[in-house]
Amino acid sequence: MNPAAQKYAAQYPERAYQSEISVTKVKLAFGEQVLKVWLMAQLENLNDFAGVKAKMNLEQMEELANIISIDYGYLRAAEILLFFHLFKKGQYGQLYGSVDPQLIAAALFQYTKDRQVSIARIEAENNRRQLDLQRAEWAKNGITREEFERRKSAKPKNTSY
């Protein structure tokens, strides 16, 4: 899940939203230090990508990694990759003159709102597909009310036991 994997999260955002591995799970499985290093790798990648003179320093990246770890632990690791891809794409603003950690934090907050809308849309689409499949099954195996009544009245009643 290095920064090069951001493109895969961007190609398959539905998978990113449905991934099993959250930021908190990474912290629990590998420790806080590993999580911080992974987050800082994403931030360093953004630092290198941004065409500005003033880059984030190590302390700013550590603090931003802590904010992500604490406040956004529910996000999946793949969603973090997706966020950084979208941020670099310009979807969450533009960096002018410096890589501003506060702007990145604000963009992440906006991303979580957009994420909720995307997840709701995906769930609605999945529910619609399930309903379509169920309706097709009913159409294939179901009978009309009239047919049900005809079959019910046509059945001989067995009165001997």
Going residue by residue through the chain, which has 161 residues, state the pLDDT in tens, using 9 for 90 and above: 789 999 999 999 999 999 999 999 999 999 999 999 999 999 999 999 998 989 999 999 999 999 999 999 999 999 999 999 999 999 998 888 899 999 999 999 999 999 999 999 999 999 999 999 988 888 888 788 888 888 888 876 666 65
The answer to the question of residue 139 being in a domain is: yes
The answer to the question of residue 58 being in a domain is: yes
pLDDT of 112 reads 97
pLDDT of 117 reads 95
Q: Which pTM value belongs to this model?
A: 0.79
The answer to the question of residue 111 being in a domain is: yes
Rounded Cα distance between 67 and 88, Å, is 19
Number of structural domains found in the chain: 1
Q: Specify which residues 98 forms β-bridges with.
A: 54
Residue range of the domain that includes 117: 3-154
The answer to the question of residue 161 being in a domain is: no
Rounded Cα distance between 111 and 129, Å, is 27
The answer to the question of residue 109 being in a domain is: yes
The answer to the question of residue 159 being in a domain is: no
